[in-house]
Structure 1
Amino acid sequence: MARAPAKADKPARLAVRLTPRGGRDAIDGWMRDADGAPCLKVRVSAPPVEGAANEALEKLIASTLNVPGRAVKVVAGHQARVKWLEIVGVGEADLTRVFGVVP
């Protein structure tokens, strides 16, 4: 009998470089920040006003990973371009499968 994949015990962390008012909601792939650290490049059409861009980011990532919206939260960088997300219910292998290998 096949085993079901185990759910991640602790949330996965993901660095994202967000572009608000990007014309459309899209994930543009991996990039390196100024320090050389990898981050996922994402654009959303929402403006950076009253958390709208952060909310759009959370919804886009949740939809892409096929997890509930409440599973994705911005935990750092709320007003910065580079943000840290915590995602409940996925592991590093899931992030690699969906977003590709980090360069």
Structure 2
Amino acid sequence: MTDLSHLAQTGARLSLRVTSNARQAGLRIEGDTIHIRVTAPPEKGKANAAVMKVLSKALGVPKTRLAITAGTTGRDKTVTIL
């Protein structure tokens, strides 16, 4: 798993590009965007929950400190660290 703990600062906004229904879960950084692949389907918030789980583990912060502040229903999301 990619270590993103250096980004875990209160108030930081992270730009994400999410791929749901992926064959394999993963995370990589390309420029200023974090690309996250999750195996969960994009229905009933399952993909968003999986994204938050992967991101919280990579950042080393609890899921309760993360909030999707833009793009809850799209592939491009903004997550703010609370």
The interval holding the TM-score normalised by the smaller chain is: 0.7 to 0.9
Unaligned runs of 5+ residues in structure 1 are: 1-6, 32-37, 89-103
Q: SS of the counterpart of 1:79?
A: coil
Measure the CA separation in 2 of the matches of 1:21 and 1:28. 17
- 1:84 is matched with which residue? 78
TM-score normalised by structure 2 residue count: 0.81
Measure the CA separation in 2 of the matches of 1:40 and 1:46. 18
Is the counterpart of residue 24 in structure 1 residue 24 in structure 2? yes
- 1:100 is matched with which residue? none
Q: SS of the counterpart of 1:24?
A: coil
Paired positions, count: 75
- 2:12 is matched with which residue? 12
Is the counterpart of residue 61 in structure 1 residue 46 in structure 2? no
Give the fraction of aligned pairs with identical amino acids, expressed as a percent.
Answer: 31
RMSD of aligned alpha carbons? 1.7
Structure index of larger Rg:
1
Q: SS of the counterpart of 1:80?
A: coil
Measure the CA separation in 2 of the matches of 1:85 and 1:74. 4
Within 5 Å, give how 1:36-47 maps onto structure 2.
38-47=32-41
* Structure 1 segments of 4+ aligned residues over 4 angstroms from their partners: none
TM-score normalised by structure 1 residue count: 0.66
Unaligned runs of 5+ residues in structure 2 are: 1-7
